[in-house]
Amino acid sequence: MTAEPVAEQPSTPLAGLARLLDQHVVAHDDVKEALLLALVCREHIYIEGPPGTAKTRLAEIVASGCGLEFFFYQLHRDTRLAELVGDIVLERRPIEQAPEELLAGPGGAPAPDAGPSDAKPPAAEAPGASIGERIHQRIEPGGLLVAEICVLDDISRAPGEALNVLLRLLNERRFGSDEIPLLTAIATGNPMDDEYYNEPLDPANLDRFALQLRVRGLIHDGGEAARELIDRFASGDVEERPEPSAVIDREDLDRAYDELSNVEVPDGVRAGLLEVLRTLVTDEECDESNSLLTDRSFLVKAVKLIRGRALLRGRRSATAEDLDVLLWMSTFRVPEEVAARMGEIVARVQAKVGSG
Amino acid sequence: MTTERIDSFALDLVEGLRRRLDAVLVGQEQAKLAVLIGVLAREHVLLEGAPGCGKSLLAEAGLGAMGADVHLCSFHRDTRREDLLGEVNLHRRVHGNSERLSFDLEPGRMLKAQLVVLDNLGRAPGEALAPLLQLLGSRVVDLGRGGMMRLPLETAVATMALPGGEVGHEGVAVDPLEPSQLDRFALQVRMEGLVTARRWGLCRAVLDSSLERAEPGVRLAELNAAERLRLQDWVTRIPYPEDVQASVRETVLALAARVRAATRGGDGRALLSDRVFGAVLPKVLRAHAAVRGAAVVGVEDLRVLRVMVAQRLPQGLLDVLEEVLHEAIAVPSPESMSTSEEGDQGLPMTADGANEQVMTDALPGQVPGAPTTEAELPEAPALPPRRRKPRPADVEPLIKAFEGRLDRGRSDLDDDPGGQPRGFRPLRRFDELIDADPLDALLLVDGTLAGPPRVLRRRRRTLGGAVVIARDVSSSMAGFRNDWASELICGLVRAAARRRMRVGYLEFHQRAIPRILGGRLLHRRYEQLNQLVREARPMGQTNYEAPLRMALDALRGRRGANRHVVMLTDGLPILGDTQVRAERALAKKLGVSLHTVFVGDGASPPVLDSISHETSGLRFQAIERSGSLVLSERGALPGAPGAPGAPGSPGDVAEATMVAAPA
């Protein structure tokens, strides 16, 4: 998958950001590329892995490296609406209303809630003793509503109900009927089979994150990358959490996004995409009850991501190789056994498309 | 002739709208039909389906083309009544020492809109929805203090995830609508994704269209307000001949009769209300005729029933509707098929080749209303084929009963600070002030509130839960009993897996042996566990105490309800505390249900009955009959009025059946 690392192609968009990621984080090449892909395609990404595997770190570097309006939020069990979308403001304004109008109510009918305490004749009331007040609760936009890029850390810690508000924010990028400037949301979560207080994302929320990856600890896995990681910090002159400055800006991202639609997706690649889907539905028995093979993700967003991957590698036309994005789309959308075989499934189709 | 000119003008407009919807969304013909009819007949529409199948897209873009103010309301956990209806004006009046408060409503945008999208309805707590759903029906709102307001509302299109936990890996946090609320939506369609419905031709069309850049030059038909009103008016005047009226009446009555018969007098789930199938149906039939391009209502417009029943008929009864339609509508000639069917013909986005593919790909799991005129459909057409792995019939009763218990545990609402607001309670800690009723909070700040402010009471359905399965592997379990036990346990694990509950598995003889996976006794590695279960090798003697203790220790310290232990054994305990008193007490304290399954012909040990009875667990016994094991639920304890928390437990009946059943 990393035959031609993005960072080594200076001509491609976001190469600067790719270098920045390499500078700060050892290995995790797939997560890095997926993050760049999410930025280029303006899609959302969900990264799941055990603690201390650089999930949040990578997200932070991306966020500060592209110099956008940035919102970082750590979700928790008691996550409230206000914490995600800004402050709730309670306003009270006096309403001008004549005392007699108040008493009579509109249309002259007695107030519906008139109780025994109201039996007093109107004349007994002191003039000017009535106050009308409007109580208005509104949201002062903040948080997700003003951010261009956001990191939703530990998203699995929030109960599903609290995340309902995200559905529309992430997908239509609207709050009520107002557009929000959000480009990409990066969510991180802990593995579901662990003893954390967390629960899996509900399917609707999960589908908002077009890209979904699982990370593992380098040291846990051993190997060359683990050595590099340990050595890097052993020298003692590496700051653990440096604050990188922006290396790209909004214009770079806009340019890349515009170019996206110029990337060609040849007939064979489209057929390949359908062939993978057909394999999943027919041979692997994925259906609505065990999978999340939604039209939105696999017919619309998949095409965008295929284009994005080609673009990141400096190509103007997609190839069968770009079907690799399906691996990042299916991680949590198909049953675990099927996800483990996705590599084979995609490779088989790629070979067929390549030869045909 | 003037009327003819109006007709052709109106039909052109309708055709333009159809094209518009086709451009917005490929496929999903039924849903598009429902939205169009909804606008023409001024009725409300409910679109339900899996995530990402285009519900919201269709609702928003569809209504956006109708030349009216569209108000969009997106529901979430914290949607409040005020967000839906408008601002509240508070009036305070002081009389001497007392103060009187009254309210009235300042109508919000939703109350002023003609077309409304209710996105993700059901994600908001039912309490917030109640006033909204009421005004969908009456189209009148009480402004308080005696003022009433008639709403300009014509059509609301609601979208909803499928209720019930069947979709995806985890249940969707959705409150199902009540029947009275569902009935507000005359039109109801269940949508299925093109990929999962295997409609590859349409999938290809979507792929291709997502590659095209939107051409700014092409303007699709859009109505203006005057045109919409004129169109709606024209629809109400479409002739509805008397002979058609008669066949519609007979068809509706035939449908009702079949539904009654199929549900044995109606179990309340079929909802053929007088309002919708009496008063609303003619309007909807007229609108269907208009969409079909006919200027007169015909019998074939009864096909509109297909987009009215998604929630009104149980899924299993959809073929009943098809039968009734088939009898009412004489076998259509090929010409009338092509004009009247809302099939895939005439989709501008679909190439001809793709069309053919769709037709040849027709599957049993296809969307209802795709051209099916055969009388005998093998299964309900809307259901995707459910694959059920073959399982020996004799473990089925236990799995079923067990699943019932799991689901009952799940549906309990527990207090949880992250849950949906359901009613109010007094404030207990000051940090709850963020959830306080705004008015109470204001009065509190003013110093005029007596007592604590009320705050939202948040509750949620318990998700997850855990099951520990304790399996007797003493030497008497060898042979086919062991295979049977493996089968049963794998079934239990699958039941837990469907609910994403954690599972634990331990084997016991004189000792208890935890089967650890991934370093833990409780985990979600269902597949690996099933492997392990099949490798069990019986040996040794029986001890109840050790396994129960181990299972309860694993569940200890876990919050929430829905914790279960299933103990499978064939012997009397010989070692340890044979009455397991301490474990029974602990299980009660933790609220864990202990279910027991006794394998053997002899009398089940009374201690097993006590264990289950005290913890509201299930009690099963498996008896050898002609070389296989027959499973039955054990009756209530003598003198015990049924297990608490298990009303209607079929215990006694089941035992009686067992005795009477021939070997």
Do residues B427 and B539 both lie within one domain?
no
The pLDDT of residue B635 is: 63
The residue of A83, A91, A199, A202 whose CB has the most chain B CBs within 10 angstroms, and thus the best one to mutate to test that interface, is A202
Do residues B424 and B475 both lie within one domain?
no
Helix H or strand E segment including B446: helix B438-446
The pLDDT of residue A307 is: 94
User: Is residue B58 within 8 Å of B103, Cβ to Cβ?
Assistant: no
User: Is residue B34 within 8 Å of B189, Cβ to Cβ?
Assistant: yes
Do residues A197 and A316 both lie within one domain?
no
Rg of chain A over Cα atoms, rounded to whole angstroms, equals: 26
Do residues B445 and B475 both lie within one domain?
no
Task: Kindly state the tokens that stand for A302.
Answer: 């998949």
The residue of A91, A279, A280, A299 whose CB has the most chain B CBs within 10 angstroms, and thus the best one to mutate to test that interface, is A299
B1-10, B389-398, B616-625: segment of lowest average pLDDT:
B389-398
Do residues B545 and B429 both lie within one domain?
no
Query: Which chain A residues are within 8 Å of B95, Cβ to Cβ?
Result: 120, 124-125, 129
Query: CA A242 to CA A244: how far, in whole Å?
Result: 6
The pLDDT of residue B463 is: 59
The pLDDT of residue A240 is: 62
Instruction: Say if the Cβ atoms of A167 and B169 lie within 8 Å.
Output: no
Do residues A223 and A268 both lie within one domain?
no
Query: CA B91 to CA B544: how far, in whole Å?
Result: 68
Question: Cβ–Cβ contacts within 10 Å for residue B309, how many?
Answer: 24
pLDDT digits (tens), chain A, 356 positions: 444 555 455 566 688 888 888 888 888 889 999 999 999 999 999 999 888 888 888 888 888 888 888 898 888 877 878 888 888 787 777 776 544 444 444 443 344 443 344 434 444 444 445 667 777 777 888 888 999 999 998 888 887 777 888 888 898 888 877 889 999 999 998 876 555 556 677 778 888 999 999 988 888 888 888 888 888 777 766 666 667 788 888 888 999 999 998 999 999 999 999 999 999 999 988 887 778 899 999 999 999 999 999 999 989 999 999 999 999 999 989 888 889 999 999 999 999 987 76
Closest chain B residue to A79, measured at CA: B418
Do residues A206 and A308 both lie within one domain?
no
Closest chain B residue to A265, measured at CA: B211
- When pLDDT is averaged across residues B280-306 and rounded to a whole number, the result is 92
The pLDDT of residue B265 is: 56
B123-127, B165-169, B507-511, B589-593: segment of lowest average pLDDT:
B165-169
A102-116, B121-135, B386-400: segment of lowest average pLDDT:
A102-116
The pLDDT of residue A156 is: 81
Q: Is the pLDDT of residue B116 over 80?
A: yes
CB of A293 less than 8 A from some CB of B: yes
- When pLDDT is averaged across residues B286-292 and rounded to a whole number, the result is 92
The pLDDT of residue A329 is: 95
A30: closest CA of chain B, how far (Å): 25
B192: closest CA of chain A, how far (Å): 9
Which residues neighbour B481 within 8 Å (Cβ) at sequence distance 6 or greater? B570, B599, B629
Structurally, chain A folds into a number of domains equal to: 2
Q: Tell which of B324, B343, B360 closes a domain.
A: B360
Instruction: Say if the Cβ atoms of B52 and A192 lie within 8 Å.
Output: no
Do residues A283 and A250 both lie within one domain?
no
Within the 45-64 window of chain A, which residues sit less than 8 Å (CB to CB) from chain B? none
Do residues B354 and B257 both lie within one domain?
yes
Which residues span the domain enclosing B507? 466-660
Query: Which chain B residues are within 8 Å of A158, Cβ to Cβ?
Result: 418
The pLDDT of residue A122 is: 42
pTM score of the predicted model: 0.73
Structurally, chain B folds into a number of domains equal to: 3
In a domain, B338, yes or no: yes
% of chain B at pLDDT higher than 70: 77
pLDDT, one tens digit per residue, over B553-594 is: 888 765 566 788 998 888 878 778 888 888 888 888 888 888
- pLDDT, greater one: B363 or A170: A170
Q: Is the pLDDT of residue B314 over 90?
A: no
What is chain B's mean pLDDT, rounded? Answer: 76
Do residues A38 and A176 both lie within one domain?
yes
CB of A332 less than 8 A from some CB of B: yes
pLDDT, one tens digit per residue, over B394-415 is: 677 788 888 877 776 655 566 7
In a domain, B131, yes or no: no
Within the 249-278 window of chain A, which residues sit less than 8 Å (CB to CB) from chain B? 261, 265, 270, 273-274, 277-278
A230: closest CA of chain B, how far (Å): 26
Do residues A42 and A27 both lie within one domain?
yes
The pLDDT of residue B445 is: 81
Instruction: Say if the Cβ atoms of B442 and A164 lie within 8 Å.
Output: no
Instruction: Say if the Cβ atoms of B200 and A199 lie within 8 Å.
Output: no
Do residues A346 and A220 both lie within one domain?
no
Query: CA B536 to CA B555: how far, in whole Å?
Result: 23
User: A85-99, A255-269, B306-320, B453-467: which has the highest mean pLDDT?
Assistant: A255-269
Do residues B453 and B471 both lie within one domain?
no
B10-24, B162-176, B208-222: segment of lowest average pLDDT:
B162-176
The pLDDT of residue B388 is: 37
Closest chain A residue to B459, measured at CA: A161
Query: Which chain B residues are within 8 Å of A111, Cβ to Cβ?
Result: 102, 145-146
Q: Is B317 helix (H, G, I), strand (E, B) or coil?
A: helix
In a domain, A114, yes or no: no
The pLDDT of residue B455 is: 87
Q: Is B431 helix (H, G, I), strand (E, B) or coil?
A: helix
Do residues A206 and A61 both lie within one domain?
yes
CB of A162 less than 8 A from some CB of B: yes
The pLDDT of residue B305 is: 92
Closest CA to B167 of A134, A294, A38: A294
Q: Is the pLDDT of residue B64 over 90?
A: no
Q: Is the pLDDT of residue B347 over 80?
A: no
The pLDDT of residue A330 is: 93
Nearest to B500 among A120, A200, A291 (CB): A200
Instruction: Say if the Cβ atoms of B51 and A294 lie within 8 Å.
Output: yes
Query: Which chain A residues are within 8 Å of B171, Cβ to Cβ?
Result: 202
The pLDDT of residue B298 is: 92
In a domain, A265, yes or no: yes
Task: Kindly state the tokens that stand for B383.
Answer: 């259901």
| Residue A297's CATH number | 1.10.8
Query: Which chain B residues are within 8 Å of A136, Cβ to Cβ?
Result: 87
Q: Is the pLDDT of residue B271 over 50?
A: yes
Closest chain B residue to A87, measured at CA: B434
Q: Is the pLDDT of residue B297 over 50?
A: yes
Instruction: Say if the Cβ atoms of A270 and B208 lie within 8 Å.
Output: yes
The pLDDT of residue B640 is: 39
pLDDT, one tens digit per residue, over B80-91 is: 877 888 887 777
CB pairs under 8 A between A and B: 257
- Residue B415: how many CA atoms within 13 Å on its side-chain side? 5
Query: Which chain A residues are within 8 Å of B166, Cβ to Cβ?
Result: 288-289
The pLDDT of residue A12 is: 65
- When pLDDT is averaged across residues B452-466 and rounded to a whole number, the result is 77
| Residue A15's CATH number | 3.40.50.300
B218: closest CA of chain A, how far (Å): 19
Which amino acid, B92? R
B93: closest CA of chain A, how far (Å): 4
- Tell me which residue has tokens 């209720």: B163
Here the contacts of A255-260 (C-beta below 8 Å, separation 24 or greater) are A255/A13, A256/A13, A256/A14, A256/A39, A256/A40, A256/A311, A257/A40, A257/A41, A257/A42, A259/A13, A259/A311, A260/A40, A260/A41, A260/A304, A260/A307, A260/A308, A260/A311
Closest CA to B544 of B488, B601, B604: B604
- When pLDDT is averaged across residues B643-647 and rounded to a whole number, the result is 37
Do residues B447 and B475 both lie within one domain?
no
Instruction: Say if the Cβ atoms of A165 and B77 lie within 8 Å.
Output: yes
Do residues A252 and A292 both lie within one domain?
no
Q: Is the pLDDT of residue B462 over 70?
A: no
In a domain, A209, yes or no: yes
In a domain, A105, yes or no: no
Bridge-based pairing state of the strands B86-95 and A211-214 = unpaired
In a domain, B123, yes or no: no
Do residues B573 and B633 both lie within one domain?
yes
Do residues B426 and B493 both lie within one domain?
no
Which residues span the domain enclosing A292? 261-356
